[in-house]
């Protein structure tokens, strides 16, 4: 390791947290403040720790969380979803501690698209998306007129409108991802979280999904946080990047700020090359050979 | 779009109730002593309109005192087992779950035998013992079926089978301490049998059935979401812990109820919910009531077959359901694996 790489890693997180000045006026929608977490087996030493992490997500903003497998990306997402309670620090959504919200209120404010869970019995896309309305009613939850308007809108926004009468288990990967996204949109959340939504999708479907997320964030004013392995797609579509490495938040900032060649090489443990295109968007290429 | 409306829910249940009525009527007719349709209709009409002195004593004995109570019992047991099966399928996220396959019925049977040995004189000891046994067996299977904190469907089925065989061995052990005359009755009862009269009045049984089913039904909308996984359901606002507790208690009550009345009748809780799903879809808001009525139909039919197939001798109804149910189970298992 050269001295240069070391300093890149050890730069304090706050220094690179340069939010654009015009955005600083409106209060952030989500504030993650020195939040940490540890998985501890009974009576043992912690198996995994997520060290104190701080960043904000604003309305209309798409934030991508990057890092290798096991770096704590999913843990961070579950903290933001309120499914985990931070060991220390705070995760606040519009001023309320997310993990303290009751389940219904939380489901009205935070929607999460998780890695695929198989369904036990066949269900049609419409009924699946309608499940997103669950936190807004009670009892047997028969579909209301308002529900059907929201579901139709969600299907349209997710590009799943033509799928509404199809069976979930008969959809292709990309189609299923759109139906799952539609259900999350039917929750009408303030914060939309996605855990590796581009997994198993072909490149066209990946680009389409991220473009869609970008548009949804802009149009609906949602705050969107997406965990992904796709460095170039993240650079293209995200406003800001949270870079994790072994439970540590190394950097928070715009793609241009975070995508530094030596930093990324260190984190991902492989030789790669970063260049910036005319719009200042970084692009990562991987060298196939061991020369250099 | 065919979404579930209250209207469709009621119409479907009314349709099934009509079928049930027809089946009950037919099953009142068939039996060892023949009764003509004309007589049956006439006598039923007279009974219904209070002209009791015009009802023949033969009819009163055979149809009203023997066949009807048994059909009523079959309906209660069928409804209880089917709803328990549908509930276990959602609770354990396993489409092959059934109180019998999971060993919950064996737990209930052991519980009621223990209560017969230790507290025979207490009223309601058998159903309470069966309920406790069902609770314990469900808990055991639930923990046997977990691997790395997740329910594993094959571990769960294996855990159920192991639990069932272990409990059966315990039951056999206990039964050797019972005198020979009672043994045949018990062996029949274990196989699932409706011919022995119950110590508890059918009014009480109905009450417990309604309470159990209604309790589970309050979670019907939650169960639909639970099918997609506990994490997912929680993120959609379902109070997963409460729902699981209600369904666990409710399904154990229903299994205990059925077993304390009729022993371990197998596969009803597996086949009936699957048939209903094929016919009407897997929405639990419709599935639970439809399964209750469908289960009543299935066990009434199975018991009538058991009464009449080798008449005047009787088969245990559990043998009938197993004859049909085991192949269906294998079919479902293979289709799932494919």
Query: Do A80 and A25 share a structural domain?
Result: yes
B221 and A83 in contact by Cβ < 8 A? no
What's residue B82's pLDDT?
97
Return left, alpha or beta for A64; rule: phi > 0 is left, psi -120 to 50 is alpha, else beta: beta
Annotate A61-117 with DSSP letters as a single string. Answer: -EEEEE--TTSSHHHHHHHHHTSS--SEEEEEETTEEGGGS-HHHHHHHEEEE-S--
Residue of B220, B237, B277 with shortest CB distance to A134: B237
Interface predicted TM-score (ipTM)? 0.84
Which class in CATH covers the domain with range B69-337?
mainly alpha
pLDDT tens string, chain A, 292 residues long: the values are 444 444 444 444 443 444 444 445 578 889 999 889 988 777 777 778 888 899 999 999 999 999 998 888 989 999 999 999 999 999 999 999 999 999 999 999 999 998 776 788 889 999 999 999 999 998 889 999 999 999 999 999 999 999 999 999 899 888 999 999 999 999 999 999 999 998 888 899 999 999 999 999 999 999 999 999 999 999 999 999 999 998 889 999 999 999 999 999 989 988 888 998 888 899 998 876 655 4
Which residues form the domain of A229? 8-94+190-260
Q: How confident is the model at residue B230 (pLDDT cuts 50, 70, 90)?
A: confident
Structural domains in chain A (count): 2
Q: How confident is the model at residue B180 (pLDDT cuts 50, 70, 90)?
A: low
Does residue A173 belong to any structural domain of this protein?
Answer: yes
What's residue A291's pLDDT?
52
Query: Do A142 and A80 share a structural domain?
Result: no
User: Cα separation of A250 and A265, whole Å?
Assistant: 13
What's residue B337's pLDDT?
54
Chain B residues near residue A127 by CB distance under 8 angstroms: 3, 283
In the DSSP assignment, the letter for residue A187 is T
Burial pattern B69-92, b for ≥16 Cβ within 10 A else e, equals ebbbbbbbbbbbbbbbbbbbbbbb
User: Cα separation of A138 and B156, whole Å?
Assistant: 32
Residue of B94, B238, B277 with shortest CB distance to A134: B238
B311 or A11: which carries more pLDDT confidence?
Answer: B311
Query: Do A204 and A183 share a structural domain?
Result: no
Query: Do A136 and A14 share a structural domain?
Result: no
What's residue B183's pLDDT?
63
Q: How confident is the model at residue B135 (pLDDT cuts 50, 70, 90)?
A: very high
User: Cα separation of B46 and B55, whole Å?
Assistant: 7
Burial pattern A103-139, b for ≥16 Cβ within 10 A else e, equals bbebbbbbbbbbeeeebbbebbbbbbbbbbbbbbeee
Chain B residues near residue A121 by CB distance under 8 angstroms: 95, 227, 277, 282
A127 and B285 in contact by Cβ < 8 A? no
Does residue A206 belong to any structural domain of this protein?
Answer: yes
Query: Do A198 and A66 share a structural domain?
Result: yes
Chain B residues near residue A114 by CB distance under 8 angstroms: 231-232, 235
Does residue A107 belong to any structural domain of this protein?
Answer: no
Query: Do A174 and A132 share a structural domain?
Result: yes
Query: Do A223 and A205 share a structural domain?
Result: yes
What's residue A48's pLDDT?
82
A16 or B33: which carries more pLDDT confidence?
Answer: B33
Does residue A216 belong to any structural domain of this protein?
Answer: yes
What's residue B229's pLDDT?
86
Does residue A64 belong to any structural domain of this protein?
Answer: yes
Q: Using an 8 Å Cβ cutoff, are B43 and B59 in contact? A: yes
What's residue B145's pLDDT?
84
User: Cα separation of A91 and B330, whole Å?
Assistant: 49
Which residue carries 């197998």 as its tokens? B266
Among residues A189, A209, A242, which one ends one of the domains? Answer: A189
Query: Do A200 and A168 share a structural domain?
Result: no
Does residue A223 belong to any structural domain of this protein?
Answer: yes
Residue ranges of domains in chain B: 69-337
Residue B312: asked if its preceding bond is cis (omega within 30°), the reply is: yes
What's residue A4's pLDDT?
43
Among residues A158, A189, A220, which one ends one of the domains? Answer: A189
User: Cα separation of A136 and A109, whole Å?
Assistant: 11
Chain B residues near residue A131 by CB distance under 8 angstroms: 224-225, 228, 236
Does residue A252 belong to any structural domain of this protein?
Answer: yes
A93-97, B50-54, B221-225, B302-306: which has the minimum mean pLDDT?
B50-54
What's residue B6's pLDDT?
93
Tens digits of per-residue pLDDT, B255-309?
Answer: 999 998 888 898 999 999 999 998 998 999 999 999 999 999 999 999 999 888 8
Q: Is B215 exposed, middle or buried (0-12, 13-18, 19+ CB in 10 A)?
A: middle
Among residues A173, A189, A205, which one ends one of the domains? Answer: A189
Q: Which H or E element spans position A257?
A: helix A255-258
Residue of A83, A135, A165 with shortest CB distance to B237: A135
Query: Do A13 and A156 share a structural domain?
Result: no
Query: Do A173 and A123 share a structural domain?
Result: yes
Chain A residues near residue B282 by CB distance under 8 angstroms: 120-123
| Long-range contacts of residues B226-232, Cβ cutoff 8 Å, at least 24 apart | B226/B90, B226/B91, B226/B93, B227/A119, B227/A120, B227/A121, B227/A123, B227/B90, B227/B93, B227/B282, B228/A117, B228/A119, B228/A120, B228/A131, B229/A117, B229/B93, B231/A83, B231/A114, B231/A117, B232/A114, B232/A117
A120 and B90 in contact by Cβ < 8 A? yes
What's residue A6's pLDDT?
41
The CATH number linked to A34 is: 3.40.50.300
What's residue A12's pLDDT?
43
User: Cα separation of B271 and B292, whole Å?
Assistant: 12
Q: Using an 8 Å Cβ cutoff, are B141 and B167 in contact? A: no
A129 half-sphere exposure, CB direction, 13 A CA radius? 35
Q: Chain B residue closest to A127 (CA)? A: B3
What six digits make up the tokens of B52?
């009791």
């Amino acid at each position: 390791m050269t001295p240069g790489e070391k300093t890149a890693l050890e730069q304090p997180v706050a220094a690179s947290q340069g939010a654009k000045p015009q955005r600083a006026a409106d209060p952030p929608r989500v504030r993650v403040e020195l939040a940490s977490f540890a998985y501890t087996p009974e009576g043992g030493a912690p198996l995994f720790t997520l060290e104190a992490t701080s960043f904000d997500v604003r309305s209309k903003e798409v934030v991508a969380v990057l890092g290798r497998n096991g770096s704590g990306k999913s843990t961070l997402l579950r903290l933001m979803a309120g499914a985990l309670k931070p060991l220390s620090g705070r995760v606040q959504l519009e001023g309320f501690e997310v993990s303290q919200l009751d389940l219904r209120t939380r489901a009205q404010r935070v929607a999460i698209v998780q890695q695929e869970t198989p369904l036990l019995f066949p269900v049609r896309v419409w009924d699946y998306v309608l499940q997103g309305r669950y936190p807004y009613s009670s009892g047997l939850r028969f579909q209301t007129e308002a529900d059907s308007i929201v579901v139709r809108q969600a299907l349209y926004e997710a590009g799943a409108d033509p799928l509404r009468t199809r069976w979930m288990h008969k959809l292709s990967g990309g189609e299923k991802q759109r139906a799952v996204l539609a259900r999350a949109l039917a929750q009408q959340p303030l914060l939309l979280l996605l855990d590796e939504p581009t997994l198993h999708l072909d490149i066209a479907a990946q680009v389409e999904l991220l473009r869609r997320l970008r548009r949804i964030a802009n149009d609906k004013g949602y705050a969107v946080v997406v965990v992904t392995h796709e460095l170039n797609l993240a650079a293209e579509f995200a406003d800001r990047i949270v870079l994790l490495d072994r439970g540590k938040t190394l950097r928070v900032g715009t793609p241009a700020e975070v995508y530094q060649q030596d930093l990324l090489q260190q984190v991902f443990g492989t030789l790669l090359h970063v260049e910036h295109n005319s719009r200042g968007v970084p692009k990562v290429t991987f060298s196939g050979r061991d020369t250099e | 779009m065919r979404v579930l409306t209250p209207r469709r829910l009621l119409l479907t249940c009314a349709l099934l109730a009509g079928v049930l009525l027809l089946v009950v009527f037919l099953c009142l007719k068939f039996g060892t002593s023949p009764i003509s349709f004309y007589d049956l209709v006439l006598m039923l009409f007279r009974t219904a309109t209070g002209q009791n002195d015009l009802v023949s004593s033969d009819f009163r004995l055979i149809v009203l005192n023997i066949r009807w109570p048994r059909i009523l019992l079959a309906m209660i047991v069928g409804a209880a087992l089917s709803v328990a099966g549908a509930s276990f399928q959602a609770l354990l996220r396993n489409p092959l779950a059934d109180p019998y396959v999971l060993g919950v019925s064996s737990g209930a049977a052991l519980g009621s035998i223990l209560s017969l040995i230790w507290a025979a004189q207490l009223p309601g000891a058998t159903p309470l013992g069966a309920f406790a046994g069902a609770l314990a067996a469900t808990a055991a299977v639930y923990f046997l079926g977990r691997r790395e904190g997740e329910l594993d469907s094959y571990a769960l089925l294996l855990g159920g089978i192991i639990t069932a065989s272990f409990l059966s061995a315990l039951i056999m052990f206990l039964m050797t301490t019972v005198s020979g005359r009672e043994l045949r009755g018990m062996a029949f009862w274990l196989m699932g049998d409706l011919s022995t009269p119950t110590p508890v009045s059918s009014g009480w049984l109905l009450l417990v059935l309604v309470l159990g089913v209604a309790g589970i039904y309050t979670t019907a909308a939650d169960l639909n979401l639970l099918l997609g996984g506990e994490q997912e359901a929680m993120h959609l606002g379902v109070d997963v812990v409460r729902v699981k507790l209600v369904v666990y208690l409710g399904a154990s009550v229903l299994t205990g109820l059925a077993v304390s009345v009729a022993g371990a009748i197998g596969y009803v809780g597996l086949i009936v919910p699957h048939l209903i799903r094929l016919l009407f879809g897997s929405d639990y808001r419709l599935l639970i009531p439809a399964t209750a009525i469908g289960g009543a139909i299935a066990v009434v039919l199975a018991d009538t077959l058991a009464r009449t197939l080798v008449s005047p001798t009787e088969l245990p109804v559990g043998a009938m359901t197993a004859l049909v149910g085991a192949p269906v189970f294998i079919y479902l298992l293979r289709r799932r694996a494919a």
